Amino acid sequence: MDDPFEIGGTTLSSRLILGTGGAPSMDILESAIRASGTDMVTVALRRVVPGVAGSVLDVCERAGVRVLPNTAGCRTAREAVLTAQAAREAFETDWVKVEVVADDRTLLPDTVELVDAVEALADLGFIVLAYTNDDPVIAMRLAALGCAAVMPLGSPIGSGMGIRNPYNLAMIREQLTVPVILDAGIGTASDAALAMELGCDAVLAASAVTRARHPEIMAEAIGLAVRSGRLAHLGGRIPRRLYAEASTTSVGLPEL
């Protein structure tokens, strides 16, 4: 079935974006990337280690996936803009996933700083994907500022708590015209399927894969769940009803 997924005019073949944080080794990360079927992964920027030339970029290149830089660890709009500018130089891409978090315990988005960062980055010509909370109002604001995609969380980063507010997510999907990518909180395959069934255009998973007992197997499971959930969304679920509705007609029922 032809079901292209576009962000900022670029077509992606998979609706799963993989975060690379937390993998126990580069080899395991590479097999997980391949098993997931993704064609875009996120990477962060950190200080170089003198004398060490290799990096996660080599893994991305070998696996043939696009790199989406993020601003993980930034607390202010200023830091996020500088990090995005550094990422543009490092990776030669205008794409950036903007994360501005409020504190270490919740890692919840600081949406005041986020909106400032997105405004500045859109002005600087970046293709901005914004990590945000599940607030439909902020999601609308971010889309209005020119985000190429809005990425609401399901639950806090790395919590594996799944989708805590499916109704807000459905509202966000209904109100926005840009892609909505469920970001953060995925714990297992069914969470990813639910996100897609709710109408999300894509899912980002990291810890659910990289910290799983068997990352490669979980990567495949979540890749399939994203695909399955997307098809279920397109297929159209039946309405929920309290009482049963027989699928077999009562016409011609014999009197025994």
Whose tokens are 């962060």? That residue is: 44
| 97 a catalytic residue | yes
Could you say whether residue 14 binds other proteins (CB under 8 A)? no
Nearer to other proteins among residue 111 and residue 210 (C-beta): 210
Q: Count residues binding other proteins (CB under 8 A).
A: 47
Region of 5-13, 172-180, 205-213, 222-230 interacting with other proteins (CB under 8 A): 205-213
Interface residue with other proteins, options 31, 42, 111, 132 (CB under 8 A): 42
Interface residue with other proteins, options 16, 32, 45, 117 (CB under 8 A): 45
Q: Give 138's contacts (C-beta < 8 A, 6+ positions apart).
A: 111, 114, 115, 132
Between CA 88 and CA 240 the distance in angstroms is 47
Between CA 101 and CA 80 the distance in angstroms is 10
Main-chain phi, psi angles of 49, to 5 degrees: -100, 115
Interface residue with other proteins, options 7, 12, 16, 23 (CB under 8 A): 23
**Coil, strand or helix at 33:** helix
Nearer to other proteins among residue 159 and residue 232 (C-beta): 159
Could you say whether residue 235 binds other proteins (CB under 8 A)? no
Sequence length of the chain is: 256
Could you say whether residue 137 binds other proteins (CB under 8 A)? no
Burial of 200 (0-12, 13-18, 19+ CB in 10 A): buried
Beta carbons of 44 and 256 less than 8 angstroms apart? no
As annotated, the active-site residues are 97
Residues making contact with other proteins (CB under 8 A): 18-23, 29, 41-53, 55-57, 67, 69-70, 72, 82, 85-91, 131, 153, 157-158, 183-185, 204-207, 210
